[in-house]
Amino acid sequence: MRRRKTLSDILAGWRMSEGAKEAIKDIIDRSRRNTMVAVGATIIIVMFSLALLAPVLPISDPEEYVDESFQPPSDNRWFGTDELGRDVFSRVIWGTRISLQVAVLAIFFSLLIGIMMGLMAGYFGGKTDYLIAGTIDLFWTFPPFLLALAFAATVAGGSLTAVIIAISISYWAGFARLMRGQALSVRERQFVEASRALGASNIRIMFTHVFPNCLAPLIVWASIGVADAITIESSLSFLGVGTQPPTPSWGYMLFRGLANLQEAPWMSTFPGVVLLITVLGFNLLGDGMRDVLDPRMKGMRR
């Protein structure tokens, strides 16, 4: 009988120090026991599967008029149909795809900007820090949603790319702040000093010593960031400046649902529930991971 591969077996094959393996094993063990991580991760896995599988699932075309308008949920139209006779179930699933695509890419780019800015500011200090930290603070002052609204309103057309860019340039300041703080504290540590004494360049020190030490909080905040980005995207689409019809988007579906609240409550209920569950999933994962990675931060948030 084939033995199931355990975590230690997998880790044994990796090229890294025993101490690092021990730490990784410890983190994975603790996250398995954390309910928030378990629930959050399950939700996220389901949502990503739906998003990836949308083109092959046996559901109707989300932009096609497949039935009569305002059909209530039934056996073959699980979530009913909307005002144009499109299948709400299919639109919710395709909406997952759009939502996750926008949110994940937007957070990826914000991370990229944030990490670069934060590392440079925290590591170099002095005038560089003064300039970058000032810029970070300027962006940090404003709620990302408000900035994204202002940016999204300027770009005519409201393509997906425009929404992604609008969210990215509104959200990076939080990551940069985090990164800068961590870099400031890490660079004073002895191993960084030792590495510098051995002649390592600034770039090398930043990426091999400073950056890995900031990974834990970044993972936490990236997860919460995706939740925020989903909320921002759906809010923008709800207000008509985000994803444009006929592309299925939860925010826009809720906007149409609001207009038809009396005749067809299912038009807003289903996208709303799925939207809430998805945002909740990423928040739970973030909160849970924080407890796992750094028990001292437990219960802190803002």
If one asks whether residue 154 binds another protein (CB under 8 A), the answer comes out as: yes
What is d(CA 130, CA 132) in angstroms, rounded to the nearest whole number? 6
Contact 278, 43 (CB under 8 A): yes
Q: How many CA atoms lie within 13 A of 260 on its CB side?
A: 20
Whether the CA torsion 295, 32, 281, 286 is positive or negative: it is positive
Q: Give the Cα-Cα-Cα angle 12, 41, 290 (nearest 5 degrees).
A: 80
| SS3 category, 75 | coil
From 74-82, 92-100, 177-185, 235-243, give the range in contact with another protein by CB under 8 A.
Answer: 235-243
**In whole angstroms, how close is the CB of 132 to another protein at the nearest point?**
14
From 20-28, 63-71, 85-93, 153-161, give the range in contact with another protein by CB under 8 A.
Answer: 153-161
Give, as one character, the DSSP assignment of residue 2. P
Q: Which of 184, 216, 219, 280 binds another protein (CB under 8 A)?
A: 280
Question: Which residues contact residue 200 at a Cβ distance below 8 angstroms, ignoring those fewer than 6 apart?
Answer: 208
Give, as one character, the DSSP assignment of residue 296. G
If one asks whether residue 242 binds another protein (CB under 8 A), the answer comes out as: no
Q: Residue 2 is which amino acid? A: R
If one asks whether residue 53 binds another protein (CB under 8 A), the answer comes out as: no
**In whole angstroms, how close is the CB of 302 to another protein at the nearest point?**
7
Number of residues lying near another protein (CB under 8 A):
45
Contact 81, 69 (CB under 8 A): yes
Closer residue to another protein in complex, CB, 114/257 = 257
If one asks whether residue 14 binds another protein (CB under 8 A), the answer comes out as: no
What tokens appear for 254 in the block?
């809720």
If one counts every other C-beta atom within 10 angstroms of the C-beta of residue 174, the result is 19
Closer residue to another protein in complex, CB, 178/236 = 236
If one asks whether residue 231 binds another protein (CB under 8 A), the answer comes out as: yes
C-alpha distance across the termini of the chain, in Å: 51
What tokens appear for 81 in the block?
């149909």
Contact 257, 5 (CB under 8 A): no
Q: Which of 118, 122, 242, 251 binds another protein (CB under 8 A)?
A: 251
From 45-53, 103-111, 145-153, 178-186, give the range in contact with another protein by CB under 8 A.
Answer: 145-153
Q: Which of 12, 112, 150, 194 binds another protein (CB under 8 A)?
A: 150
Q: Which of 18, 262, 295, 296 binds another protein (CB under 8 A)?
A: 262
**In whole angstroms, how close is the CB of 254 to another protein at the nearest point?**
6
List contacts with another protein (CB under 8 A). Answer: 134, 137-138, 141-143, 145-147, 149-151, 153-157, 227, 231, 234-235, 238-241, 251, 254, 257-258, 261-262, 265, 268, 272, 275-276, 279-280, 283-284, 287, 299-302
